[in-house]
Structure 1
């Protein structure tokens, strides 16, 4: 990344010396749940109050949050906003609107757009575009290829969230499959490497077998058998081996199998150099859902068995899974037509990620404190994001107010993603996001988006 793009924050300029008091909320933060208040002053959290305390000076606006949770804004470490070049299905403006409506205040976007984010020029252009379009905070991965390892040393590691490495072919065909290149990237990246792990040789062999048996486009139920458990485990094992050999900082994305969980340590995040992410899609769906949702839930790695899903859910209460992301990947429904080979992979889930995981809280899979750890605190700690991810005095006021007792059903009319659909359509949820604040600005308020708000570029402390 070259010159840092100046922050553009139109609404924040209107909030100079403004104080907002959010009171009587149930605050969930840093392992605690308590009734209290937060005062926002300009962009930052000015006061955190409990035991009936009142603000130290008058406030311009009061919000009664009785009955609602007040959480740090969700940080999603894994999205595909399709911008630039694929904006017929999504763009930064529409997808950050979906983020805001879902309580997501920061995101990290992947490089498989058009042009791919595999040069310093493309990366700089993406940051400049984001400053103009994004309603929430942003950063971007630099995409590794078989031919661009020389550029890794030039990355601004305080503003680029990480290097994305496709060790399995997926949408965009950015596969890195040369062992000498893989070793060089792991040795020289000098920052977090986020990997998509699927063994391409196993997938290729399975594809040929299933085509011989079922024709050119086998049924969607074959998808988890083609992109199999073994393909995931073999590739994740290789990534971890390379990380251990080189001392690289590795983050394995979208773990999808129970078997892969054996590869990760159940230790506190701060003690690990190899970490893992589980995605909402693999936590919410299983292979039984192909019968009703078909290719709508086709993604890479594939949605696998109920046993795999349940093992991933159980791991949320441990330190084997460090963060929850989405792999939000919009496509037009017309592009989802077909079976295991012809339908494109990816689904839009960003707007419903927080409330989907709140359903798991309702079911007793994890606690609200654990949800906040996996979706807010841990991403901030894992990526070393400055001033975000926690409700702390002096931190940026990225906050979400969510009603945990408001039942509603997802309809197409409420979907903010440009593609206009979601696999969550028809799903009845028991919680609803009411307000989302980004850098102290109210960007989402009970169904209304304030589209003049602009997020900020994330900054990172880098101590590898």
Structure 2
């Protein structure tokens, strides 16, 4: 039996921080106590002064495999994820081919079983005409259903009202949506193309992918969920106007409609387009300082339930094209947790709240089995963070296959020192081990 003893950690779990020891036996957390005595066969890690948190669960990533592996793959991006303290991820279906049949979906699971450093699940993709395939999806071992209500990377737009009604009425799966109104976005784009052609200044991206485009779509999809009783999760909320549509009046476990915010919408504003350009071109767009402030407020008062990344890498060559050809999205999994800890240092959020939004809440929303908490009997998906170990993001320490980060040049005060996935020490001393410790996530439903 493999045993690892973590001593003197500041253990963060369920709204509390307490100093103590934690024993890992094989894949699981075996004991948590004020003090645990080491035995000769224990590997001992002294965590004095460091936070021990449950590994982050990223409910929205795009790892680009199969079909787009020139910019990312499951092996490369899951390596970056564990280096960044993300021990489980839910990947999206807009790969090539799109994961819109059970056979194509299962092929992605087979790739991950051989190559993933982190725990994994893959969303089934919805289209205007694949309801029969959707209804075959097993809720026990598939995270949910993903619908694109606004076009993004790939061609998975669901724009038929009849199809949406049927999907929402028919499936008990959690339905996660990319919510932007396609008609509004296209109309806005044509106006700017009339003035600038294809070379539209990227500063106009939030006017093309506008507040109204987001709000109109989100109102519509929330109304549909309420009418049909569907379980709805709205990805990457980006506007002050949208957060008013969500509630904090009931416990998370009772919510039928939940919301996510992404790191880039909490970090950047439209003022950053001047220096970052297409590197911060995302769908939905990074918007105003007022929008960012409203997202923070909604995150802290629990109208927004989850912090995720929408990790979506592209090559620099792709990003350096003119506006209409430059794809939206950017890499984030390696820097998401430390970015949130930077907000902790700035007094914006507590460590307990970071853990709630990046580990506990995703586990609850998706009903993930035995993960997302530091509890005896749970899988040992754990991260040690030194809050006083500064470092700088440079090309040479970026692990994404695309080789760049919107955080390049940023100084972070906190550093992840150790990451455990299913009890395996997969990251230590800035190195990811060769061990592919990831397991397929299971769900209590």
**TM-score category, normalised to shorter length:** over 0.9
Match of 2:69 among 87, 102, 124: 87
1:382 matches 2:365: yes
1:8 corresponding residue in structure 2: none
How far apart in 2 are the matches of 1:54 and 1:44? 16
Give the superposition deviation at 1:55: 4.0
2:155 corresponding residue in structure 1: 173
1:40 matches 2:24: yes
1:214 corresponding residue in structure 2: 196
Encode CA deviations 1:344-399: one digit per residue, 9 max, x unaligned.
Answer: 10000110000001111111111100000000000000100000000000000000
**Does the 8 Å CA contact 1:359/1:430 hold for their aligned counterparts?**
yes
Give the superposition deviation at 1:315: 1.7
1:300 corresponding residue in structure 2: 283
1:280 corresponding residue in structure 2: 263
TM-score normalised over the length of structure 2: 0.98
Encode CA deviations 1:220-277: one digit per residue, 9 max, x unaligned.
Answer: 0010000000000000111100000000000000000010000000132112100000
1:11 corresponding residue in structure 2: none
**Does the 8 Å CA contact 1:221/1:340 hold for their aligned counterparts?**
no
**Does the 8 Å CA contact 2:38/2:44 hold for their aligned counterparts?**
no
**Does the 8 Å CA contact 1:221/1:287 hold for their aligned counterparts?**
yes
1:397 matches 2:365: no
1:240 corresponding residue in structure 2: 222
1:431 matches 2:399: no
How far apart in 1 are the matches of 2:171 and 2:336? 30
**Does the 8 Å CA contact 2:239/2:287 hold for their aligned counterparts?**
yes
1:433 counterpart SS class: strand
Give the superposition deviation at 1:343: 1.2
**Does the 8 Å CA contact 1:105/1:438 hold for their aligned counterparts?**
yes
1:144 corresponding residue in structure 2: 126
**Does the 8 Å CA contact 1:39/1:55 hold for their aligned counterparts?**
no
1:330 matches 2:313: yes
The count of residues paired between Structure 1 and Structure 2 equals 444
Gaps of 5+ in 2: none
Match of 1:78 among 55, 60, 66: 60
Encode CA deviations 1:323-350: one digit per residue, 9 max, x unaligned.
Answer: 0000000000000023442211000011
**Does the 8 Å CA contact 1:167/1:197 hold for their aligned counterparts?**
yes
1:14 corresponding residue in structure 2: none
2:77 counterpart SS class: helix
How far apart in 2 are the matches of 1:100 and 1:314? 29
1:54 corresponding residue in structure 2: 36
Encode CA deviations 1:82-123: one digit per residue, 9 max, x unaligned.
Answer: 000100000000000000100100000000001110011101
How far apart in 2 are the matches of 1:194 and 1:44? 30
1:26 matches 2:10: yes
1:5 corresponding residue in structure 2: none
Give the superposition deviation at 1:58: 5.7
How far apart in 2 are the matches of 1:404 and 1:226? 39
1:316 counterpart SS class: helix
Match of 1:440 among 415, 423, 427: 423
Match of 2:341 among 346, 358, 362: 358
**Does the 8 Å CA contact 1:111/1:142 hold for their aligned counterparts?**
yes
2:254 corresponding residue in structure 1: 271
How far apart in 2 are the matches of 1:200 and 1:339? 21
Change beyond 3 A, Cα 1:29–1:58: farther
1:278 counterpart SS class: strand
2:144 corresponding residue in structure 1: 162
How far apart in 2 are the matches of 1:69 and 1:29? 11
Gaps of 5+ in 1: 1-16
2:334 counterpart SS class: helix
2:49 corresponding residue in structure 1: 67
**Does the 8 Å CA contact 1:152/1:188 hold for their aligned counterparts?**
no
How far apart in 1 are the matches of 2:198 and 2:269? 24
2:84 corresponding residue in structure 1: 102
How far apart in 1 are the matches of 2:13 and 2:7? 15
1:203 counterpart SS class: helix
**Does the 8 Å CA contact 1:328/1:349 hold for their aligned counterparts?**
yes
How far apart in 2 are the matches of 1:182 and 1:451? 43
Give the superposition deviation at 1:454: 2.4
2:138 counterpart SS class: coil
How far apart in 1 are the matches of 2:162 and 2:43? 59
TM-score normalised over the length of structure 1: 0.94
1:344 corresponding residue in structure 2: 327
How far apart in 1 are the matches of 2:212 and 2:18? 44
1:324 counterpart SS class: strand
1:128 matches 2:101: no
